[in-house]
């Protein structure tokens, strides 16, 4: 169940897929997305999320994820060359 959507400067769509504990990315014009953060089950390791609930970008293009189940905000540098 997605709770948040963010779009970067390139038009890439990012979705917080809350109940699947992951962040999905759809490049502009794509018909399918891919998992870029999480997707390894619910957890608190740096490569896991627990109910991500919100997304936001800063002016440098870093993605911030509210990891609600872990009571933290995670900052990710997104590799735009993979979009």
pLDDT in tens, 45-65: 988 999 999 999 999 999 999
The torsion region of residue 9 among left (phi > 0), alpha (psi -120 to 50) and beta comes to alpha
Q: What is the DSSP string of 23-69?
A: EEEE-TT-SS-EEEEE-S-S-SSTT--SSEEEEEE-TT--EEEEEGG
Gap between the Cα atoms of 38 and 30, Å rounded:
21
- State residue 16's pLDDT score: 98
pTM of the model: 0.90
CATH class of residue range 2-82: mainly beta
Residue 80: pLDDT band (50, 70, 90) is low
Write out pLDDT tens, residues 22-48.
Answer: 999 999 999 999 999 999 999 999 889
Q: Are 16 and 33 a contacting pair, CB within 8 Å?
A: no
């Amino acid at each position: 169940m997605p709770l948040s959507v963010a779009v970067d400067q390139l038009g890439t769509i990012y979705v917080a897929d809350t109940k699947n504990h992951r962040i999905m990315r759809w490049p502009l014009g794509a018909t399918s997305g891919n998992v870029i953060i999480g997707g390894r089950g619910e957890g608190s390791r740096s490569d896991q999320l627990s109910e991500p609930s919100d997304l936001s970008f800063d002016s440098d293009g870093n993605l911030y994820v509210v990891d609600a189940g872990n009571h933290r905000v995670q900052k990710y540098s997104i590799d735009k060359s993979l979009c």
